[in-house]
Amino acid sequence: MGKIKVETCNIEGLKVITPTVFGDNRGYFMETYNFNDFKEAGIDMEFVQDNQSASKKGVLRGLHFQVDYPQDKLVRVIRGEVYDVAVDMRAGSKTYGQWYGVRLSEENKKMFFIPKNFAHGFLVLSDYAEFVYKCTDFYHPNDEGGIMWNDPELNIDWPTEPGMELTISDKDTRWPSFNEIRKDR
């Protein structure tokens, strides 16, 4: 291994990955994904789709999940900075309903591995951010689920700055509470 550093989180299955970056006066080089290194780190799955989004400061996307076709995700930021959050929705998990957040940026080059059956979202902290991620299943538009981003039971500590105006899609403002989701599962 040696090309990536893997940190476990207080929620089993979540991992923060820091790649080895080789830099000089020309710039830098890093492997963003190597199946063998990730397999050795316990992230042994086939990714079938890559996605990319661009957002301005204050955009909050999430908290999303797929109901019948859950996805493992490997997320990172290639420009700017976001606060990325995963919520444990695994039935029977000892950390069910708990969340974990991490700052991902073009500077720290960290990646966040989020297993199946987690809700996921992020808040853009920089003026502009480009967010990329790999998924182990395809997007199924009729399989979307979500939790309200400001659910009082989850009590996610989004790092908003004074005066920061949030931009949230209409769809993301209508998701049910975590408690309502729990009743349906």
Which amino acids are annotated catalytic?
64, 133
- 144, 128, 143, 142: which is closest to 62 by C-alpha? 144
Apex 43 CA angle, 141 and 71, nearest 5: 10
| Phi/psi-derived region of residue 71, left when phi > 0, alpha when psi is between -120 and 50, beta in every other case | beta
Give the separation between CA 95 and CA 154, rounded to whole angstroms.
12
Q: How far apart are CA 96 and CA 185, in angstroms?
A: 12
